[in-house]
Every structure is written in C-alpha cells, then in structure tokens.
Amino acid sequence: MSMLLWMCSFQTNAQSRINLEMYLVPQQHHQSLLNNPSPSVDFVTRTGLNLGLGLSYNINRDWQLVLQSWHVSSPFRFTQHPEHSGFAFIPGPQRINWGFSYSNFSLGLRRTWEMGENDLYAQPSIGVNLSREYGFNVQDSVLNFGFTTNVVPSASLEIGMKFNTPGNNYFLVGLRHHQGFGRLDGSIFTWTGVSPQPQVQRRGSYTGLVLGYGIDFRTRKGEDWRVTKMERKTEKRVAAWGDGTYVMFTTLQRFQPDFVQSNASGMNRLRPASQILFGYTSGQWSFETGYSSWMSQTKVNSQNFGWVSLNDPRTRAIPLRARYHLDVGQNNRLRVGVSAATFVTLNTVRMDETHRGAIMLNDERVPVLKSSPTDQNSGGRLFYQGGAFIDIPFFNSSILSFNFSQNFGSPEVGVVNVQEIVNGERVDYMKSGNLNGFNIEVGLKLPISTLVR
C-alpha cells in the first residue's frame, strides 16, 4: 500500500490511475498426507474457495502494478477410525470434513495485450503466505497456550482475459497457479496416537479459476458525463426487465412432509437447497436450466434408540424450469407469475456409515445400530415442482425473485442398509429419504445484458 501511495504522489491525476479489484477463486489445493496409518484415514483434498482484494496502478496502457491480499481456504476430508482414537470412544469410522486457512499478500506486474475490445493479460507475482497455528506447551509445570505465526515466501502466475465494459469497469477471467516455498503448519492428527504421527504436507500451493471484477476510478467530470450516467441507468433498468439471457442464484428452505418431532440430534423440519440457473426471457415466458443441490434426511424409528438421524445426504440435479409472468403496475416495479419444473437427478453424496451404541457378542464388540450406504444408483431419476413467484427490482440492473413451490414425485434418495440388534437377534432392513415438500426460495437474477452496460 505504501509503495502505491508513493507512486501516486508523482501524479496530479493519480485517482485516474488506480483501480479496485475483487476476486473469487474456486481452486484445488496441492497437499498430501505423510505417514498414513493403518487403517488408512483416506485423506482427500476438496475444492476450496479463495477471496481477494486488490489495487492496480496503471503505469501505462500496457502495464499495471497490482497489490493483492487473499484469504485462502484449504479444505480436506478424512476418516477417523476407532483404532486411532486414544482419548474418546467413537462407535465406528467417521467421515469428517475439515479445513485450514491462511492469508497471502503479493505484489505483481500485469502485462496486457489489446485484442479487439478486450485484453489478454499475464501477471507474475511475488509475496508471502501467512498462517497462525494454535498450540500449547508445558514449562515449569505450567500449561501455556499461544499462537505460532508461520511466514513463507510465495510466487504466482496468472493468465487470462480482461473484458471491458462501457462504464470503464472490467471483468477478469483467468487461470492462476500459486506456489509456496515452505511449510505452513504442523501436524493436525495428534489424536491418532500412532507413530510416526500423520502430518499434512502443505506449502500453500493451489491451482484455480480467477473470477474478478475491477472498478475504474477514472476522473469523471462535466454535465455530459452526468447525462450519460442517467441514460445508462435507464438502459440497465429497461434491460433488466426485458428479453434476453440472465443468470440467477437461489437459496431455499424445504419443509419435509414426513418430519417427526423428536429430541434426536440432527432432526429438523427444514432442509436447505441451492441453485445456479441460466435462463432466457422472451415476452412473458422464461426458460431456465442449470445446477441444483438438495439436502434430504434418512432417519429411522429404532427399537433401541427411538428416532435416529442416519444421514443428511445431498442430491445433485439438473433443473428444467419454465416461468410465465405478468407485469403489474407502472414502471416495471412488480412482476407475478407461475412456474413449473422437472429435475433430473445426477447423484447423491455425503452418504456415511453410522453407528449407535455397541454390545459384546461372542467376545466381539458389535454395533447395536449400524447403517451403511447402498450401491443403488440415484442418477437419472425425475421429480417435479410447481409454484408461483414474485419479482421486484433490486438496484438498477438486477431483480429479487421470491418463489413459493411444491416438490412432488420424488424418488428414493439417501438409501441405506440398516442393521439392528433387537433382543439379541439381528434385524436387517432399508431406509431412504425423499425430496418432496414445500419450498420458500429467494433468488438474485442478473440479466447478462446489464453487466456490460
């Protein structure tokens, strides 16, 4: 920041040379597990999400100096086995999602090449990764807690496209590889009680997709600019309610129709879902498709434990939705309509093996209740949705959509095999969940045509 301010002091029109940038980076971290014990903890790296802010200084038309600050996530999944637990009893293998995060600060030099109305760019950067590790030590019979700060050098290379908008702002879409040159943290698997101790080898390296937006602080003066600004706002408002393509992000809560009031942990009448939709509006009709993720619940009324939540699986699906609307009032301030959709399921994930309690049977510890996922294919099934919606303006160029709908015709999802020991006898059966229920949905609709105005 100091370097940028120092450079700006040499420019009487410095404000026109500085841009504010915001970044969103889905990424895959490069990390591995050392000293994997037996049985294996099945260490898997999950997709993470980085958030960043930056200031770019325009040296000239082709070169920019870029100062960036990043919050980086490094999620992973592993299995905790009873054999590894030296401090507390666990009834069986538990699949656990965990994570680690750190900060990165970097200074880069961006080179751009003009390609029609847009630019190709390449940006090498150098900086540091910074993480804080919580720990404790015993000194003179006193237990001391504290943080250890790890700082290691890093470098990155980013290549992509810069898409300019008429308002002097721009979008960035690119590929980024970030490389750390030292270990960030110590062991996290201290609970295993095995030697040598399992450790995550992580240097803060990842490869990801950069999605960025830049705001140009170029000096704007005069009555002509104010008139142009008002005209652009009017154009955006008309385009937001008119024909064309759009993207919509929605979140919803689904009321489970088979909910049973219970004191069991995890029992909840509401189950969330999220969607990203791409659509096209023509006249009074809109057609949408995209990706959706629905959480369900598999539960059982056990003879030993009462109501038990076995799993909270997520079913992924492709929606095909049609919407018909009518505009109410003047100035396009309210839109009401009806919708109908068909969902095609892809698969169901987050299906874990679960246990409840144990007894000694023939000198062997046997779970009283055990459930394990089946190999039943949940893809290629259909379920349906019908409802009504209300759209209202949100700022100049977007729309808030409130949808009230009912799911029906759901296939069985989250199917598990259940084994119980009842009065000394083993009982086997299958249980499943479904995706039926009433939905309350809120969505943000962004007409693509308004993003480039």
Residue 98: C-alpha distances to residues 74, 295, 437 (Å) = 9, 20, 31
Residue 437: C-alpha distances to residues 2, 251, 256, 273, 388 (Å) = 56, 15, 5, 12, 15
Lookup: tokens for 115: 């390609």
Query: What CATH number did the domain enclosing 368 receive?
Result: 2.40.160.20
Q: Tell me: do 202 and 276 sit in the same domain.
A: no
CA distance 113 to 53: 23
Q: Given 197, 216, 235, which residue is the final one in a domain? A: 216
Total number of domains in the chain: 2
310-339 average pLDDT score = 88
Give the pLDDT score at 227.
55
Q: Tell me: do 159 and 276 sit in the same domain.
A: no
Higher-pLDDT residue of 208, 143: 208
CA distance 292 to 57: 40
Residue 401 contacts residue 443 (beta carbons within 8 Å): yes
Q: Tell me: do 238 and 322 sit in the same domain.
A: yes
On the question of pLDDT at 399 being above 80, the answer is yes
Provide the mean pLDDT of the chain. Answer: 82
Query: Comparing 187-191, 195-199, 242-246, 378-382, which segment has the lowest mean pLDDT?
Result: 187-191
Q: Given 184, 216, 248, which residue is the final one in a domain? A: 216
Residue 432: C-alpha distances to residues 2, 296, 379 (Å) = 59, 9, 15
Give the pLDDT score at 91.
55
- Could you report how far apart the first and last alpha carbons of the chain are, in Å? 31
Type of residue numbered 315: T
Expressed as residue numbers, the domain containing 351 is 223-451
What would the pLDDT profile of 252-272 be if each residue is shown by its tens digit?
999 998 888 777 666 788 899
Q: Tell me: do 227 and 208 sit in the same domain.
A: no
On the question of pLDDT at 234 being above 90, the answer is no
Q: Tell me: do 273 and 324 sit in the same domain.
A: yes
Q: Tell me: do 265 and 147 sit in the same domain.
A: no
Higher-pLDDT residue of 100, 190: 100
Lookup: tokens for 320: 């095909």
- Residue 11: pLDDT band by 50, 70, 90 thresholds? very low
Q: Tell me: do 29 and 175 sit in the same domain.
A: yes
Give the pLDDT score at 365.
67
- Residue 200: pLDDT band by 50, 70, 90 thresholds? confident
Query: Comparing 229-243, 317-331, 421-435, which segment has the lowest mean pLDDT?
Result: 229-243
Q: Given 182, 216, 250, which residue is the final one in a domain? A: 216
Give the pLDDT score at 14.
46
On the question of pLDDT at 90 being above 70, the answer is no
Residue 203 contacts residue 152 (beta carbons within 8 Å): yes
- Residue 363: pLDDT band by 50, 70, 90 thresholds? low
**pTM of the entire predicted model:** 0.62
Give the pLDDT score at 191.
64
Give the pLDDT score at 205.
92
**Could you give phi then psi for residue 250, rounded to 5 degrees?**
-130, 150
Q: Tell me: do 236 and 143 sit in the same domain.
A: no
Q: Tell me: do 414 and 265 sit in the same domain.
A: yes
Q: Tell me: do 182 and 242 sit in the same domain.
A: no
H-helix or E-strand spanning residue 361 = strand 354-361
Number of residues written out for the chain: 453
CA distance 23 to 253: 28
What would the pLDDT profile of 272-307 be if each residue is shown by its tens digit?
999 999 999 999 999 999 999 999 988 888 888 888
- Residue 384: pLDDT band by 50, 70, 90 thresholds? very high
Q: Tell me: do 326 and 412 sit in the same domain.
A: yes
Nearest to 371 by CA among 336, 426, 416: 416
Q: Tell me: do 258 and 141 sit in the same domain.
A: no
